[in-house]
């Protein structure tokens, strides 16, 4: 059952120098899952629509060619899954830098899919990792700039690694401003696993929002998105995608967020 409610928040836009040039009020629809012991999971309604996926600056071949994708509505977790949320479902906390409201890290792709399976069993809803196109569509939230804040980011907006200012660890989720859909920490903090198999470019990619799988019964590298506290700004942009790791890797910069099918809203 979806017990929906609305929430208001401010959305910030910056110029190429990282200076705030606009602040506007937005509203999003949410529902909450009770995971036990007062631990909540907030899910944000992401309306269906179309967008141009890929690197708008034409920089990197693995983020090209740009292509139109049309998606159905879905829900996405407001934040990366936190350590408290992971503990509530999985009964353990593997994170290197501990903190209930920090994103869980040191989780493999297999850990994240097991989390989704257990959460689905507990709630009766279908939870899974987002597809790459769902992730980028949700991150952009209608923007066409490299970041949902605009042309650049600063350490006041994102936990990443500007030269000489590396925070060297995760921060509590929600410490930085959201995008226009009401999602937090899509840039930086932790890389987020996706459902897709890795492909070297977008030639032949699905355009309906589904995960791109090779379906050859082999294990392939999985995709991760969004950059982390250890990365420079290029790795944290909306189009950034990477995978040079096996699905069972446990790394302090790897976390995840989840999606739930469903188009209901208020």
The pLDDT tens digits of the residues spanning 197-237 come to 999 999 999 999 999 999 887 889 999 999 999 999 999 99
Q: Count CA within 13 A, CB hemisphere, residue 127.
A: 25
Number of domains in the chain: 1
Q: What is the mean pLDDT of residues 25-48?
A: 96
Q: What pLDDT does residue 245 have?
A: 73
Give a yes or no: residue 55 inside a domain: yes
Q: What pLDDT does residue 263 have?
A: 57
Structure tokens that stand for 100 in this block: 């209930």
Give a yes or no: residue 57 inside a domain: yes
Whether pLDDT at 137 is above 90 = yes
Distance of CA 260 to the CA centre of its chain: 13
Q: Among 19-28, 57-66, 81-90, 101-110, whose mean pLDDT is lowest?
A: 57-66
Give a yes or no: residue 214 inside a domain: yes
Give a yes or no: residue 7 inside a domain: no
* Burial bucket for residue 55 (CB in 10 Å: 0-12, 13-18, 19+): buried
* Burial bucket for residue 133 (CB in 10 Å: 0-12, 13-18, 19+): buried
Give a yes or no: residue 207 inside a domain: yes
Give a yes or no: residue 153 inside a domain: yes
Q: Count CA within 13 A, CB hemisphere, residue 1.
A: 2
For residue 132, what is the domain's CATH number?
3.90.1580.10
Q: What pLDDT does residue 128 have?
A: 98
Q: What percentage of the chain exceeds 70 in pLDDT?
A: 96
Name the residue with higher pLDDT: 5 or 216: 5
Give CA–CA dist 240/233, Å, rounded.
10
Give a yes or no: residue 71 inside a domain: yes
**Which residue range is the domain that position 142 belongs to?**
29-261
């Amino acid at each position: 059952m979806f017990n929906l409610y609305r929430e208001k928040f401010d959305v910030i836009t910056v110029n190429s120098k990282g200076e705030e040039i606009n602040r506007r009020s937005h509203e999003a629809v949410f529902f909450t899952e009770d995971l036990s012991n007062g631990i909540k999971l907030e899910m944000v309604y992401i309306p269906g629509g179309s967008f141009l996926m890929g690197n708008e600056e034409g920089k990197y071949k693995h983020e090209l060619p740009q292509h139109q994708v049309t998606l159905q509505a879905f829900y996405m977790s407001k934040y990366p899954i936190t350590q408290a949320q992971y503990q509530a479902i999985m009964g353990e906390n593997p994170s290197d830098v501990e903190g209930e409201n920090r994103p869980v890290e040191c989780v493999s792709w297999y850990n994240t899919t097991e989390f989704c399976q257990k959460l689905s069993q507990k709630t009766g809803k279908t939870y899974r990792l987002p597809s790459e196109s769902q992730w980028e569509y949700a991150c952009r939230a209608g923007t066409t700039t490299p970041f949902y804040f605009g042309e650049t980011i600063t350490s006041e907006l994102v936990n990443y690694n500007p030269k000489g200012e590396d925070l060297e660890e995760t921060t509590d989720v929600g410490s930085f401003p959201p995008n226009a859909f009401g999602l937090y920490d899509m840039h930086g903090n932790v890389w987020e696993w996706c459902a897709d198999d890795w492909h070297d470019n977008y030639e032949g990619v699905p355009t309906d929002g589904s995960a791109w799988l090779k379906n050859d019964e082999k294990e392939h590298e999985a995709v991760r998105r969004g950059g982390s506290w250890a990365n420079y700004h290029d790795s944290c942009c909306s189009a950034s995608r990477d995978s040079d790791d096996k699905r069972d890797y446990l790394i302090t910069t790897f976390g995840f967020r989840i999606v739930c099918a469903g188009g209901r809203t208020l």
